[in-house]
Amino acid sequence: MEFTFVSGHLALDLAATLTWRSSYPIELLAGPQDLSAWIEQAGLADVAERVSDADVERTRELREAVYRTASAELLDQPPRIGDLPLISRTAAGRQVTPVLEELGRTVWRGSVDQVLATVAHQACVLLGGPDHRRIRSCADTQCTRLFVDHSRSGSRRWCDKQTCGGRANAAAYRRRRSQSSPR
């Protein structure tokens, strides 16, 4: 499985492993192998550890807490009770550790617990800091991916210009063409 990392933040990339939330949700972390692949592709740990079903379950709990909290302001709702303590508790754990193998090469090692602590720590920095105001939901309403808008104008609309932005541009182009085509 190839995961997508376009949210501009690790915690939001994790949140996006449940896709198309408003219509036909697709669970991308269906089992331990998926979680192991996500961890590796996220660059969180080079060493693939044994991942259990319970690890997948805990990862999904953290993911949903992050998603609900990150989207609370967009929905003009307060965060759900219990989500903030869950993220904080997870962030309190030991994080993945770097091993400087040679000049220009550090590998990261750790257990799933350490991976979750690392993601939760970064979630605390995002959700508790000024950048939480830059969290947007993709303009493609089916997509439901959240991202951090790092653009200077603060007007980024798509999680990904190639996929969601590309689809929208193609649709607009077809609309224009059909409107301007001679009868």
The residue ranges that bind Zn ion (CB under 5 A) are 138, 140, 143, 145, 159, 164
The CB-of-18 to Zn ion minimum distance in angstroms stands at: 14
Q: Which is nearer to Zn ion, 20 or 173 (CB)?
A: 20
Number of H helices, E strands in the chain: 6, 6
**SS3 call for 141:** coil
Q: How far is the CB of 24 from Zn ion (least distance, A)?
A: 15
Beta carbon of residue 151, minimum distance to Zn ion (angstroms, whole number): 15
Nearest residue (CB) to Zn ion, 16 versus 112: 16
Shortest Cβ 138–Zn ion spacing (Å) = 3
Judged by beta carbon, residue 121 or residue 145, the one nearer Zn ion is 145
Count of all residues that appear for the chain in the document: 183
Determine which helix (DSSP H) or strand (DSSP E) holds 171, and give its type and residue range. helix 166-180
Report the half-sphere exposure of 69 (CA within 13 A, side-chain side). Answer: 24
Question: Is residue 73 within 8 Å of 130, Cβ to Cβ?
Answer: no
CB closer to Zn ion, 29 vs 143: 143
